[in-house]
Amino acid sequence: MSSRIPELLEMLHTMITEAWGLPLGAEKCVIERDKALDLLDEIRTQFPTEIAEAKRLIDARADFINNAKREAEAIRRSAEEKAKQMIDEQEIIRITRERSNDMITSAEATTTELRRVANEYVDDAMQRTEEALVTVLNELRQSRVKFKQATSRPLTPQMTRSPSPYEPEGDDEIDDEDV
């Protein structure tokens, strides 16, 4: 499952960077509110998907560990049953106990290894998910800061209207007395 959040953020960034500038505000622009809000809504809906994926991984890890425990318990029970069946002969009992202990030790080692591998896998998956979410969150914060900066900058002298070369300079109003 791939996240569309980076793609959606890129679309929002493109929308803002390609927006028409306002005549009196170089850092201000006009964007289609509905499209921008739709992108933000879609980004917002993607976050629960990422969180659900992390929860699914945690649940899968728990199932994996529980299955390993059940398998270890079944192996242990099997070893105990075999040991009880061979109780008549001392040599067989000794061999059976050794095998049972080996199987239990092996099962415990397998369970420990499976648990370690499962923990590493889930931790790695959660770390990648966390990194993806942090990256998306940082990009969203940067976009938000840029947007706030763009909307809060005062007009610069270059952005004010300069007189037309066809208009007279100064205050050249015609008074009634001049006529």
The C-alpha R_g of the chain, in whole angstroms, comes to 36
In the beta sheet, which residues pair with residue 22? 25
Q: Residue 34 and residue 130: Cα distance in Å, rounded? A: 30
Q: Is 178 helix (H, G, I), strand (E, B) or coil?
A: helix
> Does the residue 179 lie in any domain?
no
Structurally, the chain folds into a number of domains equal to 1
Q: Which pTM does this prediction carry?
A: 0.32
> Does the residue 127 lie in any domain?
yes
Q: Quick one: CA dihedral 30, 31, 33, 36, positive or negative?
A: negative
Q: Which domain holds residue 25?
A: 5-151
Q: Which two tokens stand for residue 177?
A: 């007395």
Q: Residue 148 and residue 176: Cα distance in Å, rounded? A: 50
Q: Evaluate whether 75 touches 107 at the Cβ level (below 8 Å).
A: yes
> Does the residue 172 lie in any domain?
no
CB count within 10 Å of CB 12 equals 22
> Does the residue 27 lie in any domain?
yes
Task: Looking at the chain, list the stretches that DSSP marks H as alpha helix, in order from N- to C-terminal side.
Answer: 5-17, 33-85, 90-152
> Does the residue 73 lie in any domain?
yes
> Does the residue 31 lie in any domain?
yes
Q: Tokens 């649940």 correspond to what residue? A: 59
Tens place of pLDDT for every residue, the chain, 179 residues?
457 778 888 888 898 888 887 777 667 888 888 888 888 888 888 777 777 888 888 899 889 899 989 998 999 888 888 767 766 667 777 787 888 898 899 889 988 988 898 888 888 888 999 999 899 999 999 999 999 998 887 766 555 555 555 655 555 555 555 44
Q: Residue 73 and residue 40: Cα distance in Å, rounded? A: 50
Q: Evaluate whether 43 touches 5 at the Cβ level (below 8 Å).
A: yes
> Does the residue 169 lie in any domain?
no
> Does the residue 164 lie in any domain?
no
Q: Evaluate whether 39 touches 10 at the Cβ level (below 8 Å).
A: no
